[in-house]
């Protein structure tokens, strides 16, 4: 940590700050400048916080040297993480074809926003598989802004998803909303999805850290890069190493889109962490006509996977219709993505 | 709802849209303009959504006429809600002096960010009471950005809060993080606080709607006014009428503060809802030296209550020290607030 | 325009609103609903504004039907605009190879942030040409946040740019800061660049509308899509049809980048306007290591041109060093862009 | 400046960085930590920039110790600046009653958004004076989002303002849009206003630094606190010491207001600078019904002056009607402000 002291602080304040730093286990190195005194505190700064050190009398500003996350960092693991979801060993016991994340290939996870019924999800699963998806996404528990909107089919929806997996061999990615629901959802899902509104639901993160099911952790809609990695750190430090991060758009002043797709997070995260980084251009924009361009852009920007909303009949989708594309448009888009992946030496 | 059709849409598309609107239960009135056709759909538009109607072929844009929330709206209840917290009838059974929210008087809820121990919370409770607070706030369950930070004392902390209530008569306001914890926290608390990260934790909102304990619902750090009211609607529609809303700062590009204190939300909410509106200048700014000015501003802007972080020894606070003021500064501030409240015809 | 009247508004207010609309030249169609009265006002709504109509007593909300810009819109010109910059007919009279914008080919404009000296800009011009750029960018007038920073070489810098054009045949793109400087800069430049801080410098926009030199109009760092198009409308309505728009990043809460690169603006603008849409991944991110990924993404998202900062010695750049890439990295990136352009059926 | 070196940087890189710092005139103090090497560079860091130092090979992160502005800082002048506008010595030569800014009294500057005609501005001037305003505001040059909107009366408007000053003795505050217009506007105005869109129009700032007329500098709608102070530094370093800063709302995701009124900027700026800090609740919210509450809040937050839009007939205002209050509401508000000012030991 670097402590910049206030202009004109007293020698007593400097001495006191040095004592406090030593108590915390850091070694202070004090530099008396013309205008300001600076104390560099060397050691394991994760034992304290910017907030704590800012309270020391005479301190004007505190700057960290190290990132506050550890297990998620490139420094702790310089090589990208690669792992499978689904397959014979999937913790849920369902039978699906394993899909590798973090490698040269870029898996596409597709499906409707919500499980709306048995035939809808079966139809969707077959259609997205045929078009090129390697995993199926759909929500059985839906976080909805209004209490008067459709809230999902709950366990009934999970059972339809399991049926869709049996029918197609696609691993299942589905959202879990509460810590208490983690065991139930983990019984059916190959990947537990944590949505944008729950990125800082720390009890949910802990609950997902305590199971063996891989986790897809979406960025909170106003979360910083560091907060996203600290959320992953909750899961990793609980003992679950299979975490994927996903950019899904942030909230800004822009009003022609539902969210601003902050795609530079993808290469930025890849500099900081070894975890696979996915992109969700459906939520990333919230506008159907922009999804194909931003999916192509996601591949070009280096995403390790795509999460995309596809519905057999987008116009009748119960949720998120405005950002959902048709099966036909999806099939065309997969081919475009293949061409772009090839251009950058990867595959879809 | 107002549907603006795309330029050059066909007569068939217009007819189809009219049919769909009737199916939903709305009455279409179609206006053929020079450049665009507009369909005004009259009726109970909460049966549908902007998203759903946007999917109808030929529709370019959909605009709602009514607010999507009902029970929270001024239209459903034109007179401000007034209710007590604490007191002899508090659902938790604890003994405290009742405090009225929503009236002419502006209650101040003060206390440390976290319960750090028995003596700390007892000392804080006595101190803030003496300085003018009428309720005690402190967290036993702490949502922390990093898994390596202090996470709160949990039930042990709740029991100290109860002891502080016995000792001072101050009702207790404390945060609950998960639906499963609601019964436990409600056993001790006079008010359940839902924090900014949980404003759209819909299962938690439902759980708080199912109990009789009043709820203090903070604004999400990137939530719109409408989303805040829809979150309240979850609780109200569950049968719990005692909901207070609280502005606590939003996330913007500003970096000299932890949060941007969007104080205009206070008068704006008061136009839309009958619920009491509080302000939290501690989280609202995140900067201790700005708290007094923004507390005074909150009173002047019409807040119905103040939530503020006060610690017997802010420099040693385990959490949120940077935004916590001392007991001495708090006592001075309460007097300033009294003068401003008087200037606008209210009392503190 | 659609006027939604306040709940419980009087018949007199409705009648008065109808009269006012007729005065403005719009035809009112009034619909009396269960909860609200709605007036659809049909006609040329650009004669008025949302703001003006909101003032009519009894009006709760006003929603426009048409976009407020005309010449920039797809509705006024459904086919994409294609035009040349530079070449034998360049208004500045300089000799360069013409470059076409708005077609299948995606021109890359490259160069240092600022003209720092004669040899620096000549070296840069030769280097970027060799690596694949077809136009040269560099600023002679630099808008700098601090008065103590390097402010550019002014006309001396312009003359070096002209010399670089003579030497390489690359058309020159350079920024103009004040209306009074437009004639001077237009004497040297093939394209007048209007920077992000001047997107709403309306007198500058008008001055650029009065000349024949093509204009590259960057998005303001907190401008909406509509404001960007209205800024273009200032230039177009002045009689200058050769306007290119450029996304260069917006200001959000994100702090790991200098700007949030809102790349979805590219396909979104292309739906609304016929003008060529460029992307500037250097300012778009502000971080050198993110530039290659976001340049590739820009091509994949459909940008009609790329503006990028390249310096012979980025570490010694007087301005914007943190986001400037080396000539070697640029050459590699151009090849990657070619592969991606080919994958989507275009060329670089 | 503090330079944090990359993990695993070489001794050669450290030595090279030390050499570069000495070349710039800073004294390096290097600390070799367990995980990172840190170089504290002591001396006048305004000779360089974070950007420049970030380019040194091996540097991971650079943090400034000092603020980049000097003349505007509290460190250069610890006592608040106090100065007059208008009066017998006003540079424009007009006759008005001088108004002091920066003292105990809080002047209110009121008037319509735009000068719409002679009788309108005369009527407005008399009305706001009677209600308690001590200076008149109105624009003769209007920056408008659309080229099809009313753009102001230009010099004709300025002459009406001068006439209003003669009639009422109120000093005139009016906006200037271009460097070339500064001499003209300074002939009529007691205070030159620089609007939000021009806060970083550096040539305009320089032109205003070269005259003797006091300047009211509004915050850019996405400007940081530091950028606001650096903009003031342009004027101050040009030799014009009479600069007032004004918070007028920033652009965020909030959509129920035109701007988010970031009122905490007022006390935050007062910690950093000696210049008077004003608040503009009209633009700060953009919503007429929120203006009274936020004006009161501005006084309570410590603003040194208020800028507010008042129109004899707000419903017919040509510009900004939605945020303009009536003379009657203004008179009532001035009284409320007086009571609040008194409560905090100041006067209006």
C33 neighbourhood in chain B, CB within 8 Å: 40, 42-43, 65
Whether the pLDDT of residue A90 is over 90: the answer is yes
Q: What are the chain A neighbours of D255 within 8 Å (beta carbons)?
A: 255
**What is the per-residue pLDDT for D93?**
94
pLDDT (tens digit, 9 = 90+) per residue, D69-122? 999 999 889 999 999 999 999 999 999 999 999 999 999 999 999 999 999 999
User: What mean pLDDT do residues C35-55 have?
Assistant: 83
- Measured CA to CA, the distance from residue B331 to residue B319 in angstroms comes to 21
Chains near D with 3+ CB pairs less than 8 A apart are A, B, C
Give the strand pairing for C2-5 and B27-32. unpaired
Report helix, strand or coil for D290.
helix
Interchain CB distance below 8 Å, B316 and A202 = no
- Judging contacts by C-beta atoms under 8 Å, the chain A residues touching residue C340 are 300, 340, 343-344
Residues A157-183 have a mean pLDDT of: 98
Closest D-chain CA to C179: D178
Q: What's the rounded mean pLDDT across residues A290-300?
A: 98
Ramachandran area for residue D82 (φ above 0: left; ψ -120 to 50: alpha; else beta): beta
Which residue among C42, C63, C75 sits closest to B33, beta carbon to beta carbon? C42
Q: Which of B145, B206, B314 sits opposite A227 (nearest CB)?
A: B145
Contacts of D252 in chain A (CB under 8 A): 253
Query: Which of C 240-299 lie inside 8 A of B, CB atoms?
Result: 251-253, 255
Beta carbons within 8 Å of B263's beta carbon, 6+ residues apart: B247, B279, B284, B294, B297, B298, B301, D261, D263, D294, D297
pLDDT band for position A65 (50/70/90)? confident
Encoding tokens for residue A157? 């929806």
Average pLDDT across chain B, whole number: 94
Burial (CB count <10 Å: 0-12, 13-18, 19+), residue D92? buried
Specify the pLDDT at position C291.
98
Percentage of chain C exceeding pLDDT 70: 100
Contacts of B among chains (3+ CB pairs under 8 A):
A, C, D
Q: What is the C-alpha separation between A315 and A323, in angstroms, rounded? A: 10
Place C267 in a pLDDT band, splitting at 50, 70 and 90.
very high
Confidence of residue B36 (pLDDT cuts 50, 70, 90): confident
Residues from chain A contacting residue C284 (CB–CB below 8 Å): 264
* Interchain proximity B40–C44, CB inside 8 Å: no
Higher-confidence position of A196 and A48: A196
The ipTM value here is 0.94
- The first and second tokens of residue A331, run together, are 């099939």
Token readout for A341 is 């992946």
pLDDT score at D61:
86
Taking the CA of residue C38 and the nearest CA in chain B, the distance in Å comes to: 8
Strand partners, B174: B192
Q: What angle do CA D212, D213, D214 make, to 5 degrees?
A: 115
State residue A317's pLDDT score: 84
A223 lies within 8 A of chain C by CB: no
Rounded CA separation B215/A122 (Å): 42
| Chain-chain contact of C340 with A300 (C-beta, under 8 angstroms) | yes
pLDDT class of B282 with cuts at 50, 70, 90: very high
- CA C274 – CA C71 distance, rounded (Å): 9
Say if residues C174 and C140 touch (Cβ distance below 8 Å).
yes
Residue of B220, B264, B286 to mutate when probing chain D, most D C-beta within 10 A: B264
Pairwise pLDDT comparison (A63 vs C134), residue with the higher score = C134
Of D20, D70, D241, D244, the closest CA to residue C146 belongs to: D70
Contact C144 D202 (CB under 8 A): yes
Task: Give the pLDDT mean for D135-152.
Answer: 94
Q: Is the dihedral of CA C235, C239, C240, C244 positive or negative?
A: positive
Determine, for residues D315 and C55 on separate chains, whether the beta-carbon distance falls below 8 Å: yes
More reliable by pLDDT, C192 or B29? C192
For residue A295, give the 3-state DSSP assignment.
helix
Q: Tell me the average pLDDT across B158-162.
A: 98
Using DSSP's 3-state secondary structure scheme, residue C299 falls into helix
Q: Where are the alpha helices (DSSP H) in B10-154?
A: 11-24, 50-54, 118-131
* Beta-carbon separation of D340 and B300 below 8 A: yes
Instruction: Please name the member of C146, C177, C319 whose beta carbon is closest to the beta carbon of D230.
Output: C146
Q: Which range, of B189-198, C22-31, C89-98, D296-305, averages the lowest pLDDT?
A: C22-31
Choice among A6-10, C107-111, D105-109, D317-321 with the minimum mean pLDDT = D317-321
Cβ-based contacts of A63 with chain D (< 8 Å): 2, 63
pLDDT of residue C51: 81
A288: Cβ contacts below 8 Å, ≥ 6 apart = A314, A322, A323, A324, A325
Which pLDDT tens digit goes with each residue over A94-125?
999 999 999 999 999 999 999 999 999 999 99
C-alpha to C-alpha distance for C128 and C324, rounded to whole angstroms: 13
Count Cβ atoms below 10 Å from residue C332 Cβ, excluding itself. 14
CB contact set of C339 (below 8 Å; sequence gap of 6+): A343, A344
- Buried b / exposed e over B42-71, threshold 16 CB at 10 Å, is bbebeebbebbbbbbebbebbbbbbbbbbb
**Average per-residue pLDDT for chain D:** 94
Summarised one tens digit per residue, pLDDT across range C278-300 is 999 999 999 999 999 999 999 99
Q: What phi and psi values does residue A11 have, to the nearest 5 degrees? A: -60, -35
Residues of B with CB below 8 A from D73's CB? none
Min mean pLDDT across B65-69, B220-224, D183-187 is at B65-69
Contact D210, D196 (CB under 8 A): no
Report angle CA C147, C149, C150 to the nearest 5 degrees: 120
pLDDT band at C84 (very low <50, low <70, confident <90, very high): very high
Averaged pLDDT, C319-332: 93
Q: Is the pLDDT of residue D28 over 80?
A: yes
Spell out the residues 6+ positions from residue A171 whose beta carbon is closer than 8 angstroms to its own. Answer: A85, A86, A87, A90, A94, A96, A97, A98, A99, A134, A135, A136, A165, A190, A191
**Section D272-283 average pLDDT:** 98
Q: % helix / strand / coil in chain D, to the nearest 5?
A: 40, 20, 40
Q: Residue window 13-52, chain C: list those with CB within 8 Å of chain B.
A: 29, 31, 33-36, 38, 40, 42-44
Residue-level pLDDT at C322: 87
Provide DSSP, D138-159.
Answer: -BSS---SSTTS----THHHHH
In the prediction, which pLDDT does A32 show? 82
pLDDT tier at D245, thresholds 50, 70, 90: very high
At residue C225, the pLDDT reads: 97
C233: closest CA of chain D, how far (Å): 7
d(CA C153, CA B315): 51
CA A150 to CA A18: how far, in whole Å? 58
Residue found under tokens 């009135």: B29
**Nearest C-alpha in A relative to D7:** A75
pLDDT of residue B24: 87
d(CA A41, CA A3): 8
The whole-number average pLDDT for the span D306-335 is 92
User: Of all residues in chain A, what percent carry a pLDDT higher than 70?
Assistant: 100
**pTM for this entry:** 0.95
State residue C1's pLDDT score.
87
* pLDDT classification of D14: cutoffs 50, 70, 90: very high
| C317–D237 CB contact, under 8 Å | no
Q: Which of A4, A36, A42 is closest, CB to CB, to D33?
A: A42
Q: Residue B314: what pLDDT?
A: 86
Provide mean pLDDT across the span B259-266: 98
Nearest Cβ partner for C148 among D46, D177, D198? D46
Residue D47 has pLDDT above 80, yes or no: no
Q: Which residues of chain A are within 8 Å of residue D42 when distances are taken between CB atoms? A: 31, 33-34, 38
Which residues of chain B neighbour C34 with C-beta distances below 8 Å?
Answer: 42-44
A136, A109 Cβ separation under 8 angstroms: yes
A75 or A175, greater pLDDT: A175
Give the residue from chain C lying closest to A338, CA to CA. Answer: C343
For residues C44 and A122, give the distance between their C-alpha atoms in angstroms, rounded to a whole number: 49
B261 within 8 A of B232, measured Cβ to Cβ: no
Interface list for A 133-172 with B (CB within 8 A): 143-149, 151
**pLDDT at site A238:** 96
What are the chain A neighbours of D2 within 8 Å (beta carbons)? 2, 38, 40, 63
End-to-end Cα, chain C, rounded Å: 43
* Residue D35 to chain A, least CA–CA distance (Å): 8
Encode pLDDT of C172-194 as tens digits: 999 999 999 999 999 999 999 99
Whole-number Å distance between alpha carbons of D119 and C99: 54
Average pLDDT (B55-64) is 87
Confidence of residue C10 (pLDDT cuts 50, 70, 90): very high
pLDDT for C47 beyond 80? no
> Is A277:A247 a contact under the CB 8 Å cutoff?
yes
Residue C173 CB partners (closer than 8 Å, separation 6+): C85, C109, C111, C135, C136, C137, C189, C190, C191, C193, C216, C307
Average pLDDT, chain A: 94
Most A CBs within 10 Å, among C262, C297, C325, C337, to test the A interface: C297
B65 has pLDDT over 90 = no
Q: What is the pLDDT of residue B319?
A: 83
Query: What average pLDDT does the segment C120-146 reach?
Result: 97
Mean predicted confidence (pLDDT) in B268-278: 98
Residue in A with minimal Cα distance to B258: A51
Using the beta-carbon criterion (under 8 Å), do C256 and A299 form an inter-chain contact? no
Contacts of B225 in chain D (CB under 8 A): 254, 256
């Amino acid at each position: 940590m670097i402590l910049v002291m206030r202009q004109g602080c007293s020698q007593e304040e400097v001495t006191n700050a040095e004592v406090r730093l030593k108590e915390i286990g850091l070694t202070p190195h004090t530099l008396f400048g013309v205008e300001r005194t600076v104390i560099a505190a060397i050691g394991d700064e994760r034992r304290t916080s910017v907030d704590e050190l800012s309270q020391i009398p005479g301190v004007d500003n505190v700057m960290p040297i190290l990132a506050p996350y550890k297990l998620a960092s490139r420094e702790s693991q310089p090589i990208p993480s690669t792992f499978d979801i689904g397959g014979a060993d999937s913790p849920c016991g369902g039978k699906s074809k394993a899909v590798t994340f973090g490698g040269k290939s870029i898996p596409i996870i597709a499906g409707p926003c919500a499980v709306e019924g048995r035939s809808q999800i079966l139809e969707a699963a077959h259609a997205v598989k045929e078009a090129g998806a390697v995993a199926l996404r759909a929500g059985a528990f839906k976080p909805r802004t209004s209490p008067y909107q459709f809230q999902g089919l709950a366990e009934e929806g999970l059972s339809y998803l399991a049926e869709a997996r049996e029918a197609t061999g696609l691993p299942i990615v589905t959202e879990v909303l509460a810590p208490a629901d983690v065991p139930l959802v983990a019984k059916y899902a190959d990947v537990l999805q944590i949505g944008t509104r729950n990125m800082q639901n720390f009890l949910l993160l802990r609950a997902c850290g305590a199971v063996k099911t891989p986790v897809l952790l979406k960025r909170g809609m106003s979360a910083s890069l560091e907060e996203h990695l600290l959320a992953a750190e909750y899961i990793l430090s609980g003992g679950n190493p299979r975490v994927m991060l996903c950019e899904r758009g942030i909230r800004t002043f822009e009003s022609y889109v539902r969210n601003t797709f902050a795609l530079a997070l993808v290469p930025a995260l890849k500099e900081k962490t070894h975890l696979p980084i996915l992109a969700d251009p459906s939520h990333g924009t919230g506008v159907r006509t922009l999804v194909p361009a931003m999916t192509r852009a996601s591949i070009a920007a280096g995403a390790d996977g795509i999460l995309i909303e596809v519905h057999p009949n987008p116009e009748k989708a119960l949720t998120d219709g405005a950002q959902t594309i048709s099966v036909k448009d999806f099939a065309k888009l997969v081919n475009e993505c293949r061409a772009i992946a090839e251009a950058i030496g990867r595959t879809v």
